[in-house]
Amino acid sequence: MHKSSGIMSASMRRTWVALLLLASVALPSSAFGSEIKVFCTQALTGVMAKLGPQFERETGNKLVLTYGATGGLVARVNNGEAFDVIIGTRSAVENLAKAGKVVDQSRTDIALAGIGVAVRRGAPKPDLSSVEAFRRALLNAKFIAYTNPADGGASGIYVADLIKKLGMADQLAPKTKLAKGGTSSGTLVASGDAELAMQMISELIPVPGVEIAGPLPAEIQSFTVMSVGMSAGAADQSAAKRLIMFLSSPAVAPVLREKGLEPPK
**pTM above threshold 0.85:** no
Task: List helix spans (H) across the chain.
Answer: 2-26, 45-59, 70-78, 90-98, 131-140, 154-165, 169-172, 186-190, 201-204, 237-247, 253-258
Tell me, yes or no, if the two domains 33-112+225-262 and 115-220 fold the same way: yes
Q: In the prediction, which pLDDT does 13 show?
A: 40
Once rounded to an integer, what is the mean pLDDT over residues 67-82?
95
> Could you tell me the pLDDT band of residue 74, with boundaries at 50, 70 and 90?
very high
Q: How far apart are CA 118 and CA 197, in angstroms?
A: 5
Q: In the prediction, which pLDDT does 33 show?
A: 85
Q: How far apart are CA 93 and CA 41, in angstroms?
A: 11
Going by the DSSP 8-state scheme, the letter that residue 261 receives in this structure is E
Cα 87 → chain centroid: 6
**Is pLDDT at 23 greater than 70 in this prediction?**
no
**Is pLDDT at 3 greater than 50 in this prediction?**
no
Q: Which residues contact 185 (CB under 8 A, 6 or more apart)?
A: 118, 145, 146, 147, 177, 178, 179, 194, 197, 198, 199, 204
Q: How far apart are CA 241 and CA 87, in angstroms?
A: 13
Domain spans of the chain, in order of start: 33-112+225-262, 115-220
- In the CATH scheme, what architecture does the domain 33-112+225-262 have? 3-Layer(aba) Sandwich (3.40)
**Structure-model confidence comparison of residues 57 and 12, the more confident one:** 57
Q: Which of 15-24, 185-194, 215-224, 255-264 has the lowest mean pLDDT?
A: 15-24
Once rounded to an integer, what is the mean pLDDT over residues 48-77?
96
The percent of residues above 90 in pLDDT, for the chain, comes to 83
Q: In the prediction, which pLDDT does 32 show?
A: 58
Q: How far apart are CA 65 and CA 113, in angstroms?
A: 20
Q: Which of 2-6, 157-161, 194-198, 238-242 has the lowest mean pLDDT?
A: 2-6
Q: What is the mean pLDDT of the chain?
A: 89
CB 120 within 8 A of CB 141: no
Q: Among 3.40.190.10, 3.30.2130.10, 3.30.70.1230, 3.30.70.260, name the CATH number for the domain at 115-220.
A: 3.40.190.10
